[in-house]
Amino acid sequence: MGNDLVIEAEGLIKRYGETQALAGVDFSVPAGTILGLLGPNGAGKTTAVRILTTLARPDGGSATVAGIDVLRHPAEVRRHIGVAAQDATLDPLLTGRQNLVLVGELSGMPGRTPRGRATELLAQFELTEAADRVVKGYSGGMRRRLDLAASMMTRPPVLFLDEPTTGLDPTSRQRVWDAIRELLDEGVTVLLTTQYLEEADALANRIVVVDHGRVIADGTPRELKEASRSARLEVTLAVGDPGAVAAIETLVSGRVHVSEDGRHLSAGVDSVPGLATTVVRALDSAGVLVDNVEVRQPSLDDVFFSLTGGHLPDDDATGEPDPAAERWQELEGARP
Amino acid sequence: MTTTLLERRPATRSAAAPGALAEPIRNIWSMTRRNLVHISREPMQLSDVTIQPVLFTVLFIYIFGGGIPIPNGSYKDFVLAGLLALNLVTSTMGTAVGLSTDLHEGMIDRFRALPMWRASVLVGRSLADLMTSCLCALIVALTGLAVGWRPGANVLSVVAGFAVVLLFAYSLSWIAACVGLNSRSPESAASFGFIVLFPLAFVSNAMVPTQHMPGWLQAVADWNPVSAVTAGARHLFGNPNPSAAIQAWPMQHPVVASLLWSVVILAVAAPLASHFFKQRTTE
């Protein structure tokens, strides 16, 4: 276990009445990186964040943030974290500036430093113009940005951002993304939860996929995609040729689809290095003229759906979620 | 790792700053200011400490004034302390509603994740409400003076009279806090005012001398803390105080009795509110 893990969660269990929100979740975030906690609604992402930010106590397991035990020294943990919760936690009756100053003062920032810092953040999040307006009149995007600014008031070394872009328009989302990327440059460690694969892909160094309170996959965005069986092989022939299917059948993981004119073949494949070369050679030795061969890497959406048990549009995808998840665990075990 | 973490905290004071008390006081002041800003944003929230006192004072003095004979004095001089008690007691409902609203908004989660003294949410609320109570007391006094109320004691004694009532209202606001912390919604917290505070204020000597009440009700009224507070204020204001003729201990020692009530209520309700707050914000 490295010393540079800023967030560590081990075997977190949390139950709300009948609902098992977390059923033993482990993950860790190395210093200066962004971990994306990815999962559908109700997967347990927010519960994990609430435990790590000292808002909820787990029924089992342990966690440290900035090297401090969350359960034993919650007050000390609060000195090192910034939180932007899913429901914007702002005072609707205060202005944007007053909200930030209040957070700064309550965090123990001395004298007039909260005012200076607030002005700085309002500018960074393009809220200067709205700074002295009451938050009740802010748009959703403005509230999100202000919430994010509030979480950064004390320049905390660890940030928890719970679905920071949910419900935002593309422009606002882009702004929030930029702000998060800037944090990385400053060396901040971030735990980000999101329902958007695109977001996790764009921002996170590592992704932990949770579903029904369990971790079902863990890796870099690239590793996740590569581990998926859902890569697709697309072959375009110069002329339709019945021999083509037989030539590539052994190389793919499912049935080969042939288009009506016989020129377009497609099939699910395991994503292995040099696959396109192998396919071209096989077709060439069968005397088939090839115009184009393409191996389309899976999108994170494909990965996500296969991991959470959703079905991919084509029938060659694994119906059960387990094989992919198992492969993930194998990969996990193989890593140092 | 620890060093990098510390380096990244230039803007924040270290954990154990000199003067461990300074931090909670700063927190309380921040929270108090926040609540005062709320009031300035929605001035109608203040109606129960601004318009209501004027209305009550004028209505009671002109409507009941002629019909209720007061031995050795006028109804105006008699009722002012009662109006003060009535207005301040019923306005503590604002504490219940305010806290309940705080708990229902996401803001409470923000506070809970900050390295602040958590009880400042409660103390800041009660102090802001105390300030509005002071405003309320001032308005009652000014309205009273305008319609002819005249205290018969020196300034110091009159100020002490106001202090007695304000202290009692402050202690009640901690009971209101307990109610607010246990209510499902701000609306149900508001019903506390009508179900508990209004009977409490009216079954007393605040509006009429208790001598004319049925025997059992008079016993309740004479031991009602609001009666002690009102009688104490009348005594200190140098206004007619018919209750002085009643043998019940609180009526014989109204100032001591009302101070005792306030201290006991504070001693019980404040820790209880803090307990409820912890309970309500633990998951």
Same domain, A162 and A72: yes
Chain A, 3 to 62: residues with Cβ < 8 Å from chain B are 3-4, 6, 16, 31, 50, 53-57
Task: Quick: pLDDT tens for B95-139.
Answer: 999 899 888 887 888 999 999 998 999 999 999 999 999 999 999
Q: Which of B41, B106, B115 sits opposite A88 (nearest CB)?
A: B106
Mean pLDDT throughout A198-216?
Answer: 90
Say which range, A49-63, A168-182, B165-179, has the weakest mean pLDDT.
A168-182
Question: Quick check: is A9 in a domain?
Answer: yes
Domain boundary among A205, A225, A245: A225
Is A107–B115 a contact, with Cβ atoms under 8 angstroms apart? yes
The pLDDT value given to residue A230: 64
Does residue A44 sit in the same domain as residue A13?
Answer: yes
A 63-92 residues with CB below 8 A of B?
Answer: 66-67, 75-76, 78-81, 83, 85, 87-92
| Collapsed DSSP state (helix, strand, coil) of residue A231 | strand
User: Is residue A66 located within the same domain as residue A176?
Assistant: yes
Give the range of the structural domain holding residue A239, as residue numbers without chain letter. Answer: 231-296
Domain end (from A225, A246, A271): A225
Can you tell me the mean pLDDT for A24-43? 92
Nearest to A304 by CA among A37, A29, A42: A37
Highest mean pLDDT: which range of A168-177, A307-316, B174-183: B174-183
Please check whether residues A162 and A291 belong to one and the same domain: no
Of A312 and A227, the structure prediction assigns the larger pLDDT to A227
Region class of A235: left (phi > 0), else alpha (psi between -120 and 50), else beta? beta
Q: How confident is the model at residue A318 (pLDDT cuts 50, 70, 90)?
A: very low
- Check residue A216 and give its pLDDT: 87
CATH number at residue A31: 3.40.50.300
The pLDDT value recorded for residue B218 is: 93
Confidence of residue A248 (pLDDT cuts 50, 70, 90): confident
Of A313-322, B204-213, B223-232, least confident by mean pLDDT is: A313-322
Neighbour count for residue A151 (Cβ, 10 Å): 24
Mean residue pLDDT of chain B comes to 88
State the sign of the Cα–Cα–Cα–Cα dihedral A131, A132, A135, A138: negative
| The two structure tokens encoding residue B282 | 């633990």
Nearest partner of B83 among B135, B141, B134, B167, judged by Cα? B141
Is the pLDDT assigned to residue A300 strictly greater than 70?
A: no
Assigned domain for A334 exists = no
Instruction: Please report, for the domain that includes residue A273, its CATH number.
Output: 3.30.70.100
Residue A63 located in a structural domain: yes
The residue of chain B nearest to residue A78, with distances taken between CA atoms, is B115
Q: What is the mean pLDDT of residues A277-281?
A: 89
Q: pTM for the whole thing? A: 0.79
pLDDT at A35 over 80: yes
Q: Please indicate, yes or no, if residue A23 is contained in any of the structural domains.
A: yes
Q: Is residue A322 part of a domain?
A: no
